[in-house]
Amino acid sequence: MLVQSKLLRLRRIHRLLPSTFSSLRRCHSDSPSPSRKEHELTVTQVVEHLQNPPNDWDYDKLRPFLFEASHHLLPVTLRLNSIPKALDFINYLRSRTEHHQALSCVFEGALELATQHPNSQKELLILHSYRKSNGDNIALTSRSAFLLLKCLGEAQMVDDSLLLFKELDSSSKSSGICNELLKGLFKSGCIDDALHVIDEMLERDSDFPPDDFTGEVVFGVLGKQERHGRSFADDEIVGLVTKLCEHGVFPDAFKLTQMITKMCRHRKNGVAWELLHVVMRLGGAVVVKAASCNAMLSGLGRERDTQRMNKLMAEMEEMGIKPSVVTFGILVNHLCKARRIDEALEVFDKLRGKGEGNDRFDVEPDVVLFNTLIDGLCKVGREEHGLSLLEKMKTTKQSRPNAITYNCLIDGFCKAGNIGKARRLYSQMIEEGVQPSVVTLNTLVNGLCKHGKVHDAVEFFNEMKGKGLQGNAGTYTALISAFCGVNNIDKAMQYFDEMLSSGCSPDAIVYYSLINGLSIAGRMDDASVVVSRLKRAGYGLDVRCYNVLISGFCKKKKLERVYEMLNEMEETGVKSDIVTYNTLVSYLGKIGDFATASKMMKRMIKEGLEPSVVTYGAIIHAYCLKENVDEAMKIFEEMCSKSKVPPNTVIYNILIDALCKNGNVERAVSLMDDMKIKGVRPNTTTYNAIFKGVRDKKMLQKAFELMDRMIEDACSPDYITMEILTEWLDAVGEIEKLKCFVDGYPVSSSASSPFSKCML
């Protein structure tokens, strides 16, 4: 009875520790294997004997075990079921003569016991340092090495891991041991050491070749964000994956997708592409599924690489990798972003397999696909078409419109200036039972603000707050920008404070919008305060924010602060961009420091930045301010002939204004003809400048001609236009002509229209 139950217990240990016995065999394969019963009895006896205090242990009784039958010591140790007891036993053995094998087996047992301990990591480390601090080295069995490497790896004790691995001869190394070492090395960011180990595993006829677990470790690391240590070089990544695949170790679909996603996110489309193609070549459609291709496609889409997107689609078809809805979602999204909306609609129409033609795919469009298309349509001003898709969605079972669908449409109608329709869509979504999100709130708040209805925006926000929908940083950004835009800085600050007190965590952009508003308002001290608060919140400034500040300090002529900003940019590694230089060139031009301005231009070219229309505009404007219109014209002509920069309306406006002010109206008029030839559209400012010019020269006929042209150009007059013309034409008794001019425009119902101010 008793024997039988103990036998059962041993079998249980067998099952629990399958590798124990394999290492036991390796540990002592030359000793004769006793019958199971005989073995069992002796183990039990020894275990019982060892329950006595160590001083009472009888060496003579134990002796047979310690030599010819030392492999029994592993089950013995396990059944001691106590790490201190096992250590007593180890100390006992060490105090005698040569018991190498016995020690190895008991130590392995002690390690096994440690792994079963609730605080196994700590216990294992204690055993490791015990072994390390006792110079008479206890040889490690494969299992011991495995357990120790696993725990050292987790503890990131790289040096100890490597020493331990070196200690092993190649016959006791195994794939499992190498994998544990690799895991630890990667965890500590020791890529070079890890690559060495992998090389060793990949050697010809290696006894420990990479297996699936190796793949899991390596591919896992390649797919995760790197922590510390150096990162992989591009060719190392491709080389590693290639070698593993050649050994038949493939990433699963998830890991492959993860790796590709990561590479693409790091703007390494080339590496991702190679990686995918290595696996496609060696593993085929068994390994590569649509998801991995989708990751690649979206990476390519981000870089606008239509060519390779098409190539990959063709390869997928060739290899029999079936595209999913997501694949089509990516394609449609790409086409929409490229403003090729009609092609996107074509793809969409080919989706459902119902109809005729064999160029159709058997894919049911989902909500995302619908939403992508609707957004694309709205972004090119085809909201009505988007609306019809909304109706289509309502007729489906699986693709019911959701908040995103409505958000896209609401945004579309807001941008188109149809606030009424946007609000009706909002009511409609509520009626349909679709919960608005904070994005819905922000879209409407922003839309209302952008159309000068800041009051309505605030009202709507309050209404939503009443319904329990909190605003987020985006909501406050919209309101703060809007209030800054109408020069109501106090209100903007008030909303900034409300945001903080309402528990909404601000992001960098809210700070930026406030800094922007304050800078434009010339309140640079306040802006500086917000900058330091932003920094205290743990954010940094980006180029755009620096540009705003630099521009603000320039306007206040605080040159020392400008340089302070530029130095700070250098220190924090924020690279100045074309806008930074344009701001500086413009400022230098305005104070008449042409020498420094041209130095700046040289520096920007050296930095690889091409001067833009704005740069030229700044210089041209500067010469105009100096009343050196000839030089300004010279630069303008140079810009048109030598550079690839096409002139724009602003440049013409600057020159036309300057020429008129210098009495050279003829040349200004000829510049307007030049605009027509070059296809640059004049705007209200252009006409205002030239009207002033012809008025000063009393060129009445020219004025009538220009008034007709202004109507042709569909360019609406503002109050300045009306002021110039009314005063002048009234004085010369030509008010009829002015009436005709005004009648040339379609009637505007807007109360803020410039006409209403003048005509009523």
> Binding residues for DNA, per CB under 7 A?
294, 298, 325-326, 329-330, 333, 366-369, 371-372, 375, 403-404, 407-408, 411, 437-440, 442-443, 446, 472-475, 477-478, 481, 507-510, 512-513, 516, 520, 542-545, 547-548, 551, 577-579, 582-583, 586, 590, 613-614, 617-618, 621, 648-650, 653-654, 657, 683, 685
Nearer to DNA, 157 or 515 (CB): 515
**Closest approach of Cβ 480 to DNA, in Å?**
8
- Considering beta carbons, is residue 126 or 543 the nearer one to DNA? 543
Rounded to an integer, what distance in angstroms lies between the CA atom of residue 31 and that of residue 28?
6
Residue 547: CB minimum distance to DNA, A: 4
- What are the residue ranges of helices labelled H in 537-682? 543-555, 559-572, 578-590, 594-606, 613-625, 629-642, 649-661, 665-678
Which residue number, 177 or 614, has a Cβ lying nearer to DNA? 614
CA 58 – CA 66 distance, rounded (Å): 12
Q: How far is the CB of 403 from DNA (least distance, A)?
A: 5
Report how far residue 387's alpha carbon sits from residue 63's, in angstroms, rounded to the nearest whole number. Answer: 90
- 393-428 burial, b if ≥16 CB within 10 A, otherwise e? beeeeebebbbbbbbbbbbbbbbbebbebbbebbeb
Q: Inter-axis angle of helices 578-590 and 613-625, to 10 degrees?
A: 10
Tell me the one-letter amino acid at 468.
G
- Least Å from the CB of residue 369 to DNA: 6
Q: How would you class 752 by CB atoms within 10 Å of its CB: exposed for 0-12, middle for 13-18, buried for 19 or more? A: exposed
Which residue's CB is nearer to DNA, number 241 or number 332?
332
Contact between residue 697 and residue 669 where contact means Cβ atoms under 8 Å apart? no
Q: Please, are residues 582 and 612 in contact by the beta-carbon 8 Å criterion?
A: yes
Nearest to 237 by CA among 252, 253, 226: 226
CA 219, 222, 226 angle in degrees (round to 5)? 140
Of the pair 200, 366, the CB lying nearest DNA is at 366
Minimum CB separation of residue 145 from DNA in Å reads 41
Nearer to DNA, 140 or 260 (CB): 260
Shortest distance in whole angstroms from residue 146 CB to DNA: 38
d(CA 547, CA 615): 15
Q: CA-CA distance, 197 to 183, in Å (whole number)?
A: 11
CB of 378 to DNA, least distance (A): 9
- Residue nearer to DNA on the CB measure, 27 or 300: 300
Minimum Å distance from CB 546 to DNA?
A: 8
Distance from CA of residue 318 to its chain's centroid?
32
Q: How far is the CB of 590 from DNA (least distance, A)?
A: 6
Q: Which residue has the tokens 């004025």?
A: 703
Q: With respect to DNA, which residue has the nearer C-beta, 126 or 368?
A: 368
3-state secondary structure of 493: helix
> Closest CB to DNA among 437 and 753?
437
Minimal CA–CA distance to 170: which of 208, 205, 141? 208
Q: What is the DSSP letter of 511?
A: H
